[in-house]
């Protein structure tokens, strides 16, 4: 079972917390996957938690 959306969502939340503590830090997150997702409980594809790049100092690409 793969909880891919939960792993991505929780990782981005942790990244945002760390970036908030740094003055001039930015990050690029690239996710490469076969797309198999069947076990997430917190985040979904339509969860609406896709942050704005400029506001959160990181962008994600899939």
**Would you call 22 exposed, middle or buried from its count of C-beta atoms within 10 A (0-12, 13-18, 19+)?**
exposed
| Tokens found for residue 26 | 């930015």
- Other C-beta atoms closer than 10 Å to the C-beta of 12 total 20
Residue 23 has pLDDT above 80, yes or no: yes
pTM: 0.71
pLDDT digits (tens, 9 = 90+) for 37-61: 888 888 877 655 555 665 667 777 6
* Inter-residue contact 9 to 48 (CB < 8 Å): no
Quick one: pLDDT at residue 50?
55
| Tokens found for residue 20 | 């908030």
Q: Which residues pair with 28 in a beta bridge?
A: 59
């Amino acid at each position: 079972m793969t909880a891919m959306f939960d792993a991505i969502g929780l990782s981005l939340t942790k990244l945002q917390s760390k970036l908030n503590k740094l003055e001039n830090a930015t990050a690029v997150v690239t996710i490469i996957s076969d797309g198999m997702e069947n076990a997430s409980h917190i985040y979904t594809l339509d969860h609406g938690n896709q942050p704005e790049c400029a506001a959160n100092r990181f962008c994600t690409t899939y």
